Structure 1
Amino acid sequence: MKGKNFRLLHGKPLFSWILDTLLAVNEIDEVVINTDARHILAENGLVEGGRVRIRDRKPELCGDTVSMNLILADDVGAVQADSYLMTHTTNPMLRPETVRAALADYRAGVASGEADSLFTVNRIQTRFYREDASPVNHDPDNLIQTQDLEPWFEENSNLYIFSRDSFARTNARIGRKPRLFVMDKLESLDIDTPEDWALTEAVAAMRQNAAPAVA
């Protein structure tokens, strides 16, 4: 979907959704936007100031095939912080309360020594098959209820939290001892295709209709 980051989603540019969410979380000291489209952000009313910093993406880091970990390495090298939280413009349904809960879970894991990083996942309990129709995680001759199957966890690309040290150990946003943070499926929507956009539009409308009226 060309230009999706600036396309209007339910009345406001896509990038504004996640930016508003992050700025609503007081624990986040600064929001760093790594982009090759500063001028388009400005055309949409977003410039540096307050808690927002815009970093121009280096030419060698532009393109759909560049690893996000390389972009993050550039940001980590330029931005000093105790902890880094990474998300995408394409995750507009992520809520501030989920970000706060993930931060608290990450800090608890670090304090206990049980974790050095965190990433969000979808919990899935369903029957999987290979392309040749052979079962992956169940026995067709001994069917059990799907809710009793071993849960599998899908990385949903919504949220990653890590430190400078954990990133240095793996050169990646996921450290050696990551903590999995389960999200609501409708909140974890990630927009890649027109179908994803249509579903996200529907969820955004549902949220608006469910919001309490303000007198």
Structure 2
Amino acid sequence: MKVSAFIPYWLDYQVDISGKHKNLKKLGGKYLINYSIDLLNSIQEIDDVTVYCSDESLNSYIDQELKYRFVKRDKCLDDKDVSIDTIIKSFLEVNNADVIILLHPNSPFLSSNTVSDCLNQVISGKYDSAFTAYSFQKLAWFKSKPLNYALNEETPKLKNLDPVIIEESSLYVFTRESFTIHNKRIGNNPYVKCINHFEGLEVESDEDFEIAELIVNSGMYPKVEYAKI
């Protein structure tokens, strides 16, 4: 069974007020892409790591000691209206993996234990896919209506609420078979790995970068070892 990890990358993704691309800002002295490759390199079950991007200049931002291969994708896949499912389908045309790990490069504090757990749950055959998520045990609303409680009943205690699960949107694991059947990264029988907000922090906005820098500088999260210069 071949396990391949891939990082879909947009080099020109979102430009901030300083003119810098969001994906090319440094955190703890490293570009975000290096955290993701370093994490995937640490997991023995992964046979290869691919960065899937339309611009080869990205290689100059990746640390030389990291193990990966660059596969150039068609520029048309950079269009903002192209779905991630279309990008996955394109990747599977150039890779013969049986199990695929999709990792977006904006969550530098994801742990190897989380990735390995999701991967092993899928490899075991018990689940056809896996993803990271947040669990909220709060009074929730959706489309102007209560989602997990009723207004015509006594307000429940938070501890008695059914939690609301929200995809963290950084890590997905799935089989080729499942994707071929459903054309989605999540199949009919997914394993949901709930993580905390430190581990799942997505570094997108300037505020996210400030929070991530505080985490790195404080040493409050174990994954910051990847940020050492």
Query: Which sections of structure 2, spanning at least 5 residues, go unmatched?
Result: 1-13, 16-20
User: Is the contact made by 1:4 and 1:14 (CA closer than 8 Å) also made in structure 2?
Assistant: no
Partner amino acid for 1:25? Answer: I
Counterparts of 2:78 and 2:221, CA distance in 1? 39
1:184 alignment counterpart = 196
1:127 is matched with: 139
Q: TM-score, normalised by structure 1?
A: 0.85
- Match of 2:101? 85
Is 1:121–1:154's contact at 8 Å kept on the other side of the alignment? yes
- Please list, as runs of the form range in 1=range in 2, the aligned pairs for 1:45-124 lying within 5 A after superposition: 45-46=62-63, 51-108=67-124, 110=125, 112=126, 115-124=127-136
**What do the CA deviations read for 1:135-168 (whole angstroms, capped 9, x no partner)?**
3322455222212210111011121111111110
Structure 1 pair 136/172, CA: closer, same or farther in 2 (3 Å)? Answer: closer
Runs of at least 5 residues in structure 1 that lack an aligned partner in the other structure: none
2:8 — aligned with what?
none
175, 183, 188: which one aligns with 1:171: 183
Secondary structure at 2:52's aligned position in 1? strand
Counterpart among 148, 160, 177 of residue 160 in structure 2:
148
> Any idea what the Cα deviations from partners look like across 1:159-199, whole Å, max 9, x if unmatched?
11111111101111111222211112211112232222222
Q: Which amino acid aligns with 1:158?
A: S
Q: CA deviation at 1:205?
A: 2.6
Q: Which moved more, 1:168-177 or 1:193-202?
A: 193-202
Q: Which residue of 2 aligns with 1:136?
A: 147
Aligned residues between the structures: 205
SS state at 1:175 partner: coil
Q: TM-score, normalised by structure 2?
A: 0.80
